Amino acid sequence: MTAAASKAKDRAPLRLAGATRGEIVRALAEIGAPERELNMRASQFWHWIYHRGAREFSAMRNIARPLLDKLSERCTLARPEIVTEQVSADGTRKWLLRMPPAHPLDRGAEIECVYIPESDRGTLCVSSQVGCTLNCAFCHTGTMALVRNLTAAEIVGQVLVARDRLGDFPGGVAPADGLVPSGEGARAVSNVVFMGMGEPLYNLDAVRDAIAILTDGDGLSLSKRRITVSTSGVVPEMARLGAECGTMLAVSLHATNNALRDELVPLNRKYPIDTLLQACRDYPGASNARRITFEYVMLKRVNDSAADAKALVRLLKGLPAKINLIPFNPWPGSSFECSDWETIERFSEIVFNAGYASPVRTPRGRDILAACGQLKSESEKLRARARLMLEESLAVGQD
Ligand code: SAH
Ligand code: SF4
């Protein structure tokens, strides 16, 4: 085999599941599809990949066989691989997903993705990064050693896997355990929240491209109002999120004064509460009909007094806000405790009396460590470090 042929053989396949329209056009051009057909063909593939959920090129019945054959030599429709699936007694599912390796020595990143069925919706909580650089004091994800951004395809891949698994594409079959919403017109995945691992605003380009794919009317067709991006307060990126994505915003507030927020959410030292709330006031599209959600984790004797509740109400005055009280979810080694139920009720009553709906988010999937802030994939520190070193040495080798 010539060097060039062996290089071509070793080339990683182009991944079309999760690809943007531009990437699909480029793949078609690369296999020699006629230039004048590129856009039309890309639309056909788009429909098969995102509307029909095709997992094999052979299923694409209205596309000529020779084109499909060429495409399948160079491209793949593979999704992230499900390493484990855990199903909670309440129907919450947590998947550990392995992302396809980017090069022959890459083992591929592992991330977690959680599905939460409710009577009127099914919410998929997706990750935007492997790990998180921000180290919030109460969050398990922040303790992960390895951090890297996910690509747009890897973010969209989480939705594709969930829809495959839940039988949510045309002709799909729901799992037999009866824990997935069904019935006329029911969509298993109706909502997506960026509340898994990672800080979405530190990976905004990929998050934006993923949202464009998820909301495309010829494909997955999710409504922008049913997608929520949660940030710990990356102030300089918030306007761009509103302008370029137009999705709902959630802000992880958790404290009403800078001294405490500096401790709980260290990013506060860079972007303190007043700058964060100003960015919320300026958030494009925020209105009483499209309120910003403020997340507030209930930590025993830390931020849960009646005075804290009153301070919260004062702080948010005039903002189109919803307040989401999250009972703290403990994880092995965490030093916080969840507030008592009576304390949460008293807190929520003060907030409610001030005119805010303040649903207390019922902890879901606690038995499988799938609740907020409990996510941490199995990648161990050593393995992560070894992989980083390998990747670095490969990068050097390519110079
Ligand atoms: N990084 C983003 C999004 C992911 S975290 C952010 O921080 O907003 C999603 C939500 O879970 C955030 O509000 C986060 O503060 C909260 N959270 C993290 N750890 C938690 C825990 N152990 N118990 C309850 N909520 C937690
Ligand atoms: Fe990162 Fe969000 Fe966890 Fe903070 S709460 S460490 S920003 S994932």
pLDDT band at 393; cut points 50, 70, 90 = very low
pLDDT band at 385; cut points 50, 70, 90 = very low
Token duo for residue 280: 């919320």
Tell me the C-alpha distance between 109 and 101, whole Å.
Answer: 8
Residue 175's contacts (CB-CB under 8 Å, 6 or more residues apart) are: 165, 166, 167
The string of pLDDT tens digits covering residues 114-127 is 999 888 889 999 99
Pocket test for ligand 2, best of 231, 232, 235 (most atoms within 8 A of CB): 232
Is the per-residue pLDDT at 79 higher than 80?
A: yes
39: left (phi over 0), alpha (psi -120 to 50) or beta: alpha
Q: What is the pLDDT of residue 380?
A: 36
Tell me the C-alpha distance between 107 and 94, whole Å.
Answer: 21
Catalytic residue positions, numbered = 112, 372
Is the per-residue pLDDT at 256 higher than 90?
A: yes
When pLDDT is averaged across residues 355-366 and rounded to a whole number, the result is 70
Q: What is the pLDDT of residue 233?
A: 97
- The residue nearest atom 12 of ligand 1, judged by CA position, is 252
Residue 225's contacts (CB-CB under 8 Å, 6 or more residues apart) are: 247, 248, 290
**Minimal CA–CA distance to 189: which of 246, 116, 249, 128?**
116
The string of pLDDT tens digits covering residues 270-279 is 999 999 999 9
- The residue nearest atom 5 of ligand 1, judged by CA position, is 195
215 lines ligand 1 (CB under 6 A): no
44 phi, psi to nearest 5 deg: -60, -50
Q: What is the pLDDT of residue 383?
A: 38
Q: Which ligand ends up closest to the CA of 266?
A: 2
134 lines ligand 2 (CB under 6 A): yes
Do residues 310 and 347 lie in contact, with contact meaning Cβ atoms separated by under 8 Å?
no
The string of pLDDT tens digits covering residues 56-66 is 999 999 999 99
- The residue nearest atom 17 of ligand 1, judged by CA position, is 373
Place of tokens 């049913």: 226
**Minimal CA–CA distance to 109: which of 87, 125, 127, 91?**
127
Tell me the C-alpha distance between 394 and 399, whole Å.
Answer: 9
- Residue length, the chain? 399
Pocket test for ligand 2, best of 134, 229, 324 (most atoms within 8 A of CB): 134
Task: Collapse the DSSP code of 228 into the 3-class scheme (helix H, G, I; strand E, B; otherwise coil) and give the result.
Answer: strand
DSSP 169: S
The percentage of residues in the chain with a pLDDT greater than 90, rounded to a whole number, is 64
The string of pLDDT tens digits covering residues 339-351 is 998 999 899 999 9
Q: What is the pLDDT of residue 27?
A: 95
For residue 330, which atom of ligand 1 is closest to its CA?
22
Q: Which ligand ends up closest to the CA of 374?
A: 1
232 lines ligand 2 (CB under 6 A): yes
Tell me the C-alpha distance between 109 and 296, whole Å.
Answer: 30
- The residue nearest atom 21 of ligand 1, judged by CA position, is 373
128 lines ligand 2 (CB under 6 A): no
The string of pLDDT tens digits covering residues 15-46 is 999 999 999 999 999 999 999 999 999 999 99
Place of tokens 């005039």: 318
